[in-house]
Amino acid sequence: MERTIVLVKPDGVQRGLIGEIIHRFERKGMKLVGLKMISLDDAILDEWYIHHKDKAFFGNLKEYMMSYPVVAMLWEGKNVVVTIRKIIGITLARQAEPGTIRGDFAMSQQYNLIHASESLEIAKKEEKLIFSDSEIFDWDKLDHSHVYTKEELG
Ligand code: CMP
């Protein structure tokens, strides 16, 4: 099973959408294996957004991500990287598809509520930046046999 990182960004925390966001992934059948509130700092964000460091919006992005705490989650499931990216919708939230999180709750390109890892490789890197081993829980989700077939569970 894959694991991926989700952050409820400062605007999502301020707007009271933490529960709504968790609810969407839970209802889908994904397994939550890590959860915490954290204040991001300069060092984490320089590494996190290394691919945006030359963009004009980089300074604003970092300031915004440090403005209030974020809620970090680690979700597990089959192909969760791609599936979660679909559920959150595109970056430019006002054009995101209705039914996606950004499509239903946001209007901005920067204040787009939520982050989800872009690829499995990036998910592994982000997991290490946020969670220590003792903060990740390998528990048995008893409804898995109703969420996946035996073949899918392997
Ligand atoms: P996300 O795609 O999760 O990761 C990069 C973030 O940078 C993005 O969400 C937005 O919050 C922000 N971002 C991307 N493009 C812009 C932009 N043109 N102006 C301001 N912020 C942006």
pLDDT, tens only, 54-103: 999 999 999 999 999 999 999 999 999 999 999 999 999 999 999 999 99
Tell me whether residue 107 is in a domain.
Answer: yes
Tell me whether residue 152 is in a domain.
Answer: no
Tell me whether residue 154 is in a domain.
Answer: no
Tell me whether residue 51 is in a domain.
Answer: yes
How many domains, in total, are found in the chain? 1
Say if CB 50 and CB 42 are below 8 A apart.
no
Residue nearest to atom 11 of ligand 1 (CA): 110
Residue 53 corresponds to which tokens in the numbers above? 């460091």
pLDDT, tens only, 96-131: 999 999 999 999 999 999 999 999 999 999 999 999
Residue type, position 114, single letter:
I
Tell me whether residue 70 is in a domain.
Answer: yes
**Is there an atom of ligand 1 within 6 Å of 57 CB?**
yes
Q: What is the CATH number of the domain that holds 29?
A: 3.30.70.141
Mean pLDDT of all residues in the chain?
A: 97
Q: Is the pLDDT of residue 154 over 90?
A: no
Residue nearest to atom 22 of ligand 1 (CA): 110
Gap between the Cα atoms of 33 and 137, Å rounded = 5
Tell me whether residue 122 is in a domain.
Answer: yes
pLDDT, tens only, 5-51: 999 999 999 999 999 999 999 999 999 999 999 999 999 999 999 99
Name the active-site residue from 23, 51, 115, 144.
Answer: 115
Tell me whether residue 58 is in a domain.
Answer: yes
Residue 16 CA to ligand 1 centre (angstroms): 20
Residue nearest to atom 4 of ligand 1 (CA): 115
Give the rounded percent of residues in the chain with a pLDDT score beyond 70.
Answer: 100
Tell me whether residue 96 is in a domain.
Answer: yes
Q: What is the 3-state secondary structure (H, E, C) of the chain?
A: CEEEEEEECHHHHHCCCHHHHHHHHHHHCCEEEEEEEECCCHHHHHHHCHHHCCCCCHHHHHHHHCCCCEEEEEEEECCHHHHHHHHHCCCCHHHCCECEHHHHHCCCCCCCCEEECCCHHHHHHHHHHHCCHHHCCCCCCCCHHHHCCHHHHC
Gap between the Cα atoms of 76 and 33, Å rounded = 7
Q: What's the predicted TM-score (pTM) here? A: 0.96
Full residue range of the structural domain in which residue 120 is found? 2-147
